[in-house]
Every structure is written in C-alpha cells, then in structure tokens.
Structure 1
Amino acid sequence: MESTDADGLTSPASILVALVTVIFLLHRICPHLFEPKADKVTESIVITSSNKSDLTVSKESEIPEGWWNGREVFELERRALFSQRWLYLAHCSQFQKPGSYQSFDIAGFPVFLIRGKDNKIRAFHNVCRHRAYTIARKETGASTILGCRYHGWSYDTTGRLVKAPQFDDVPGFDKSQNSLFEVHTYTTGQGMIFVNLNSGEPAAFGSGMASSLSGFARMAGLEARSNWVAGQTLSGDFNWKVGARARHLDVYTSELHRGMSELSGPSPLIKFYVNLCLALSFFPASESKTNIRFDLFASSAVNEPEIQRMSEVLKSATKNLVGEIELEYQYISTEKGSLAELDSTDTRRILSRLQEHTKLERIEGGQILPAMHKPKGSTLFQKADQLCKELDCVGGGSQNSSHNGTSPNALDW
C-alpha cells in the first residue's frame, strides 16, 4: 500500500488520496507480510512443469521460465501465496444491510462476503456443498437467503444450510454438517476487511500490520463510518505481477489529478474532494488475466451528480491503466522482456516465498493445498446423492456442469 500524495489532505493536489490495495504486495507498507526466511535470493528460479511443481535453482541471469504467463507458476502462487496470506477485499461500508454481499474471484478461488442479521460480515467459499455450483451469482447484491439453482440447496447469512430438497427425509442427513465452508476474516478498526483462505489455522493478523494500516488509513481519511459511494470492476489481459507496480500507479494518479482538476473547473471544490478516498485493488484471475476494482469512499455527505461525474473520470483512468499494463505485459512476456525484473524487491520476495513452499512440497512428496477442505464423509449422504443423480437422469437434469460428480465431502482447491 502506498499513498499517492505525500502532502496529505491540505491542497488541491490531494483531491483524491488513493488507498492503493495492491492485493498481494502489501509489504510496501507492511514488509513483514511475506516474511521470507531466506537471507537473500541472488539466483533466478526456473519453474519446471512436473507433477510436483518442482523449483529448480539456476545460476543463469534470466527471467524464470513461465514467470509471466506460465500455468505451473500461477498454480504454485495459488498454493504458496494466495491461499495462505491475509488479503484485502473490501470495506465494511460496502455492506449496508443484512444480506448485502459481494463476490470475488481471488486467483481462481471464488468467495463472497456477506453481512449477517447480527451485522457481522463473514466470508465463504462461493460454492454449494452439493455440486459446487455458485451461490452468490452476481458481483454485488442483497439477500438473506442464497440458493443454488441446481438442486435448490439454500443457505442463510451465517452459511448454514436451511433447505436441501430431496435430502430432508433421508434418515441421518444432518444439515449442520453441510454448511458453506467459511473463510477466515479480519476487519480493522477502520473497516478494512481482510480474508485468509487457509482451511486450517491461519497466521495471525499481526499487530504491526494492523498498526501500519491504521496509520495509513488515518492519513488517507478512511474510517469505519466512511461511506462507499461508487465502484466498478474492470478486466485486463495481463499477469498480476505486471500490474502491481509503482510506476503504473504514478501515471494513474497523475491522470486522475488532471481529470479531477478539469472536473472542478475554475473553482476547485477542495472541501468536497478531500473527503474522498480511493481504493484500487488487483485481483488475479489466472496466469494471464487480472481484475482491477476501484472503490470510492467519502467521510461526509457528497453531491450525487458530482459523484457520477467523478465515477466517469475514474472509469476512464482505470481503463487507460488497464491498457497501459496490457501493453507492458505483451512486451515483457516475450523474449524482449527486461532482465532487470529479477532485481526488484517485489520479485525477490515472491521468488523466496515460492521457493520455501516448493521445499515443503518436496518433503511432503506432493502438492500442499492450504485452502483445501476435507470434511468427513457420510454414507447416508452418498446414498441420497446417488438417488438425486438418478432423479436427474429421469427428469433430464436441471442443467449441465463441469462440477457434476463433485462431492461436498472434498473441496479440491
């Protein structure tokens, strides 16, 4: 994370203070996030395609094979980084009432946040326990009951299974054993919501990290009582590691400054603008696709027409940002890519973490999947499930899916 204006909130130059939540590079303000154990990474790591996703150390000075567009590299990142680290998703003001939800795709992990009737915001894997179909089908919405369209399994805001057609009369079938898989969450005092996909006990959300975030949010003017006023998600064809760079953000904020200056006209609305905070988040979708979401927050009442005009400026600037990153990705993903990329602190930290995880997988003799859930199976459930399949065959089935045959007794991440 980093502020885009060191002068704070006192000049027209700070009409927008960007809360840059570059999802997996929070070590810019919280260097302990990755906590690499290796003293230093001075050699490139070539990731080879093998059943164990082995990491081989090479003394050649080159970009690791597949670093920018390799599926094996991305799958390793999913296991070593995205399924074990605390990741920022949203602000509490984006969930105004019980049932308000927002869904995300985090490196192929579908999850959603939802405010419960008890006002607690929880996170869940966005898959039905029956056939792993999507529960929250829209990016944002509001409903105190979320249901799967395949066989009608429905869940409340706490993830509890409340309806399971064709299973209710099965002796021994226990709804409480088929709730949605919950994801660990942590909400800061300023309302920033983080998740950790580790199915076991995750690393603690450190006090140092919380303190750093608190100081940054205070400087940016973001509070728990801030209001969400606008936001949108755009998609880009590039690897997440290309997008999360300071130089892109510098160009982006410069364009925002120009756009907002033109928007304010001859009489800058300084009082209006300094009450705003912008969050820009990068969500990896695959090895070559990343979603960028911008969210605008206000600490006091704002003028709706002005917000609409500002949203257009933000959308335009973010589209241009996506275009610039896509061009760079096309360049560096070819042989023309700069060899100096390995010298960056970000790259070295990521390489170190991937190397550590690969060593653990070598010891284990196979892949380590921290986000994988393995609840106990049930013969009664399997019997009822087989009956459900037979009914599908007789009735022609409600819909086809690549998830057919997926049991709720194993969520394979």
Structure 2
Amino acid sequence: MGSLWNYLGLGSTANDEKNAIRALPSSWYTSQEMYELERRAIFSRKWLLTTHKLRLPNPGDWLRYEVSGFQFVLVKDRDGNINAFHNVCRHRAFPVVTEEKGTSRIFACKYHGWSYGLNGKLAKAPGYQELDGFDKSKNGLLPIHVHIDANGFIWVNLDAGEKPEVAWEDDFKGMDRLPRYEHVKWDDFAFDHTWEQEGEYNWKILADNYNECYHCPTTHPDIPSIADLSAYSVEVRDGGIIHDGRSKPEQVAAGLNPASTFFFPNASLTVSPHFFFMQRFVPLSPTRSIMKYEVYRNTKSSDEDFEKINQIYKRIMSEDKYLCDLTQKNLNAGVFVNGELHPEMEKGPLYFQKTVRDLVVEHYEREQKAKQEIWPARQNLPKTATVSEKDISFCSSLSCQTTECVQPPATIAW
C-alpha cells in the first residue's frame, strides 16, 4: 500500500506554518482514474451548492444542471416544494428535459411517452397498464436530496440512500449565518442573467486559483478597487473558505465591498450591496471544465452601480481563465510534478487540496475493503432484480481479466 501512496503523491508532508508545503502532484489534475474516483468520493457524496430559490418563483418552474457527468433537474411543485431528480427517464434513460430551463405541468419523456408529475411520481407509461407485475410507485424519477439554507440557497446531494451519508450540517452548519450575511436583504435581489466560460483545465485548478489572492497583484488590476490587498486574508472553516478583502471606507461607501466565500467542493458566493453572484466549477473531464455563473441584481441599485461591479468581476473571471488554461497545458506535458505552497498566502488551496486528498483516499480504502467500486449516486436495484445483478457482475469482471483488480461479488446491488 505504501508504494501506491507514493505513486499518488500522498507521502507525508510537513504541516509547519513556517515551512512551504508541497501541493498535490500534477497527476491528480490529469488522471482519468482520479477523475472517476472524485466522481464517486466527492460529487456523489457531498452537498453541492447549486442555485437560489429566486430562480424558481412559480410552481412548474424548473432548471437543468450538470456536475461531473451527473445531470439533474430542480423543480418547484404545486405545493411550493423544491424537488430534485436525476434527468433520467426510468424506462430507457432518455433525459426527461432537454432544455436548460422551463415551466411545465408534467415532465414528459420524448422517447416513449412516459410522463411524471412535478413530485417525480410516474403518471403514465403507455402500454404498461396491461402488465400485472408493473408497479408505478416504484418507477418514479430517481430523487436527489435537497436542502434550502437560511438564506434561500439550494443545495443538492446525489447520494442514492434514503438519507445521505453526509448531512448538510456535518459540513456547513452555521455557514449560512456568517456575520457577512446578517444585514443582507435577500428579497431585495432578483435573478438577472447567467454566463459561462469553458476551458481546458481540471476543476481543481479553478478552486486552487480562486482560494488565494497571492496572484491578485500580478494578474488582477481591478482588485485594488474593491479590496485592500495588504490586508487580504482567508479563513478555513468546516466546508468553507471565507475570503476577507477588508474594503476601504471609500469602497464601502460606493458599494464596492464584496464578501466572497468558497463552499467545498466546487462553488463560491460573492455578495455585495449591488449584486451577488454564484460561481460553480463544473468538471467535464480530467482536463476540461466550465465555469458557470448566476448573477443576481439588487433591485434598488442603479444601472451604473450594478454594471460597474458586474463588469469588474467578469474581467477578473476572464483573467482567471487565462491562468488556468496555461497552467493545465504545462501539467499535461509531463515535466512538472508539483511545487511548494506558502502556508499563509496559499492557505486556501492547501485546505482545499487536503480535503480532496482525505476524501478520495478514504473512499478508495473503503472500496479496497469492499473489493468493488462504490458509486453512492447509483440507482439501487430491488432485491428481486437478481438477473440484473448477475449481468452487472459479469460486465465488471471483464475489465479484470488481465489486471489485478478484484471482481465484485455476484450478489452486489449497485
């Protein structure tokens, strides 16, 4: 096992605040195997900040999202509840929605005509009413756990269990009641627009970059207009990284005093008097990601005030994309392994990388003990689906014929 940890770059590292600390190795930013492990260990298990309830004002309103290959739908039902489901028809896996957003009375699959209520229950399966053994109640859309925090932000957890293994409070208790949110009147804001940037970089490069301002004096000429770089700091807490720019009095007076917080694993929230915006780092592959942004405007702010802060951040985000693109290109080349991070100025990336490391190693060790891959988000089959279990086991064994990987037991229920 020791040789494996060395291969992964998980040898012991100093954690002395007076010493530089080696970053995760480049292989963690290029490996397909690592990407798949992150899908299982992180994106299938952890709570993901997704949007704000302001985007779903009316019954029937829905939004489609994707993260790390998992596509899902958020919808407001007739009772005012916000539900989430995998965007997968239970019949033959065609998406139940193919647009980015909409308003619907039902979800109707355009493949074979199966339809579902806004609560996910199967409403109609043409021809199946003639089958005695078919149970509609067991063929609704695959549900996803939803949590709405004290400020109205919507979180999802893809764990297929009746209750997620990780409770929202385990990672984020109190993070929605930080002092920076005490005086924010969320109802004064309205959704304004989305935008995105796709790039050739691993999602973790985006998070590393976001969570330090060591690069700000070199790269972001706009930052001094909204923050005092000489006093810039980050605080790590539970599942978050709290950025403190300590804006100057004249910046506060102009409404240029943003408060930014990163929520592990892949989202951030920046709040200012004139707008707030959410940023999601969406993995597409080991070396491709999309930065997706949702921008909300204070309805009491002038066009000038809103556009000033909005354009500042669009420039900053574009500058970050440039950094991430070229960094990934060098990581792909196979020369650079890793560098040494500053224990204070790069505290954020160090905390983020340690969290990633701990989660994937823990999950990998669980898989080794179970002698199979563990996909928390995967559909749970009924106990009667014995033929499906055997088929799954047979398919899994094919990739192990010429390797040392262990075969899953024949009774596995994915």
TM-score with structure 1 setting the length: 0.68
Partner SS, residue 83 of structure 2: strand
In the alignment, the residues of structure 2 paired with residue 276 and residue 309 of structure 1 have an alpha-carbon distance, to the nearest angstrom, of 10
Q: Tell me the equivalent position of 1:289.
A: 288
Partner SS, residue 7 of structure 2: strand
Render the CA deviation track for 1:352-389: whole Å, top value 9, x for unaligned: 2211111111111111111111232779xx9xxxxxxx
Residues 100, 143 of structure 1: 8 Å contact kept: yes
Give the alignment of 1:320-359 within 5 angstroms. Answer: 320-337=319-336, 339-340=338-339, 344-359=350-365
Match of 1:129 among 68, 90, 94: 90
In the alignment, the residues of structure 2 paired with residue 219 and residue 254 of structure 1 have an alpha-carbon distance, to the nearest angstrom, of 29
In the alignment, the residues of structure 2 paired with residue 214 and residue 132 of structure 1 have an alpha-carbon distance, to the nearest angstrom, of 40
Q: Tell me the equivalent position of 1:395.
A: none
Give the alignment of 1:186-205 within 5 angstroms. Answer: 186-200=147-161, 201-202=163-164, 203-205=166-168
Q: Tell me the equivalent position of 2:240.
A: none
Partner SS, residue 289 of structure 2: strand
Deviates more, 1:241-250 or 1:194-203: 241-250
Q: Tell me the equivalent position of 1:242.
A: 205
In the alignment, the residues of structure 1 paired with residue 133 and residue 336 of structure 2 have an alpha-carbon distance, to the nearest angstrom, of 60
Structure 1 residue 163: Cα displacement: 2.1
State the one-letter code of the partner of 1:363: K
Give the alignment of 1:6-405 within 5 angstroms. Answer: 45-47=6-8, 64=25, 66-200=27-161, 201-202=163-164, 203-206=166-169, 209-215=172-178, 218=181, 221=184, 223=186, 226-246=189-209, 250=213, 251=216, 254=220, 270=254, 274-302=273-301, 315=314, 317-337=316-336, 339-340=338-339, 344-376=350-382
In the alignment, the residues of structure 2 paired with residue 88 and residue 66 of structure 1 have an alpha-carbon distance, to the nearest angstrom, of 27
Structure 1 residue 230: Cα displacement: 1.8
Residues 198, 289 of structure 2: 8 Å contact kept: yes
For residues 122 and 362 of structure 1, do their structure 2 counterparts lie closer, same or farther at Cα, with a shift above 3 Å needed? same
Structure 2 alignment gaps of length 5 or more: 14-21, 227-251, 257-271, 344-349, 389-411
Residues 25, 338 of structure 2: 8 Å contact kept: no
Structure 1 residue 178: Cα displacement: 0.8
State the one-letter code of the partner of 1:370: P
Residues 221, 299 of structure 1: 8 Å contact kept: no
- Once superposed, what is the RMSD of the aligned Cα atoms? 3.8
For residues 341 and 302 of structure 1, do their structure 2 counterparts lie closer, same or farther at Cα, with a shift above 3 Å needed? same
Render the CA deviation track for 1:189-232: whole Å, top value 9, x for unaligned: 10111111111121222177231222166168363663212222
Residues 44, 62 of structure 1: 8 Å contact kept: no
In the alignment, the residues of structure 1 paired with residue 276 and residue 26 of structure 2 have an alpha-carbon distance, to the nearest angstrom, of 39
For residues 275 and 303 of structure 1, do their structure 2 counterparts lie closer, same or farther at Cα, with a shift above 3 Å needed? closer
Deviates more, 1:336-345 or 1:236-245: 336-345
Residues 190, 222 of structure 1: 8 Å contact kept: no
Structure 1 alignment gaps of length 5 or more: 1-40, 48-55, 261-267, 383-409
In the alignment, the residues of structure 2 paired with residue 89 and residue 99 of structure 1 have an alpha-carbon distance, to the nearest angstrom, of 18
Structure 1 residue 286: Cα displacement: 1.9
Partner SS, residue 280 of structure 2: strand
Q: Tell me the equivalent position of 1:390.
A: none
Partner SS, residue 134 of structure 2: coil
For residues 58 and 324 of structure 1, do their structure 2 counterparts lie closer, same or farther at Cα, with a shift above 3 Å needed? closer
Structure 1 residue 181: Cα displacement: 0.7
For residues 182 and 322 of structure 1, do their structure 2 counterparts lie closer, same or farther at Cα, with a shift above 3 Å needed? same
State the one-letter code of the partner of 1:70: S
Partner SS, residue 358 of structure 2: helix
Structure 1 residue 310: Cα displacement: 6.9
Higher RCO, 1 or 2 (CA under 8 Å, sep at least 6)?
A: 1
Identity of aligned residues (%): 25
